[in-house]
Amino acid sequence: MIKDALLKLIFIPLLGIGLPVIAGIITYDRYSVPELTGANLFFIFTSFLIWGGCNVIHIKLRPLYAPVSKMFSRIATICFVSALYGACTGGLSSFIWIKISKETFDWTGVYKFVAVCVAAVIIFTLVYEILFLNKEREIDTKIVNQLDQERSQAELQALTNEMDPHFIFNSLNTLNHLILNNPPQAHLFNNKLAQVYKYFLINKTRELISLKDEMEFIDDYFFLLQIRHDGKLQLQAELSDEACKAMIPPCAIQVLVENAIKHNEFTEHNPLLIKIMMNGPYLRVSNNARPKSYAVSSTGIGLKNLSSRYRIITKKNIEIEQSHDSFTVKLPLIR
């Protein structure tokens, strides 16, 4: 329902006083002040009956014509029925007034009064139609926003659950090798692996996390990777304490590290160097590019996943810069 109390409070008395004046249905010099007061109250009551009746007609007819695609047909129908009601009520009221008043019967005055009633009804029917359309648009916008938010949450939940299934398999193989050949290292590796999966479990349903917590996780995660790849990886992080207060989606950097390892060749003499540093409002994650000479088995969801998460959570896009010897992804930071 629309809020029209102010409209009623202003325009019902105004129309009740103004319509008889416009139609010339009252000869004011024939009446005393109390009689004119009674006459105005009579026509204000008439205005109330017309306004209230047309309002009911509008409310009842609109749902019936909601499926009609042609808006003009719907509005024309409502205007016609409302105008017919206004003409009948106004005509009856004018007859009653002439009967009980000191006026001389004249069809011209009746016709004028009916005409101004119909004109007023059509004008205010259109006003109400505009108010109803605005209200419907507001409700539709709220529904669309709510559905969009629910869809985004569902997409985000699906995206955050997309982790590389090979990681645990490779980590367990590495752990098995260390248990047989280097038990102290195996113990440390197991502790780091537990910390990594604790981070996954605690934060996979969160939208944002501090860069400080993400970097602590990356330190543990990178330790596992260095053990697995025999020190062929290097990590450089240049971040201030202030920068670490910024927020990013959980595992955002991990996705980029994983992507760099998956698509590049590296050796002890030519290690893979991953750099993490600030770049204005972005976190810049780059690596030296030495693409593998053979086709890499990949689902292709890594960067797409990360890009989708950023669009859903922050309404921003990640930026990718690629050259002959480097690959860089810039992640927007949330302050």
What pLDDT, in 10s, does the model give residues 45-92? Answer: 988 998 888 888 877 876 766 554 566 777 788 888 888 988 899 888
> Do residue 297 and residue 313 come from a single domain?
yes
> Do residue 168 and residue 285 come from a single domain?
yes
Decide which of 69 and 11 is more confident: 11
- Identify any residues that bridge with 274 across adjacent strands, giving them in sequence order: 235, 287
Distance CA 171, CA 167 (A): 6
CATH number assigned to the domain comprising residue 255: 3.30.565.10
pLDDT greater than 70 at residue 157: no
- What string of DSSP letters covers 235-297? EEEE--TTGGGSEE-TTHHHHHHHHHHHHB---SSS-EEEEEEEETTEEEEEEE--B-SS---
Give the mean pLDDT of 120-131: 84
Of 215, 214, 168, the C-alpha closest to 193 is 168
pLDDT greater than 80 at residue 125: yes
> Do residue 255 and residue 312 come from a single domain?
yes
Q: How many domains does the chain have?
A: 2
Placement of tokens 């030519």 in the chain: 270
> Do residue 212 and residue 313 come from a single domain?
yes
Q: Containing domain of residue 263, as a range?
A: 162-332
> Do residue 9 and residue 140 come from a single domain?
yes
CB under 8 Å to 102, separation ≥6 — which residues?
A: 27, 30, 31
Phi, psi of 182 (to 5 degrees): -150, 75
Decide which of 328 and 136 is more confident: 328
> Do residue 194 and residue 79 come from a single domain?
no
Over the stretch 161-220, which tens digit does the pLDDT of each residue have?
Answer: 555 556 777 788 888 888 888 888 889 889 988 888 888 888 877 888 899 999 999 999
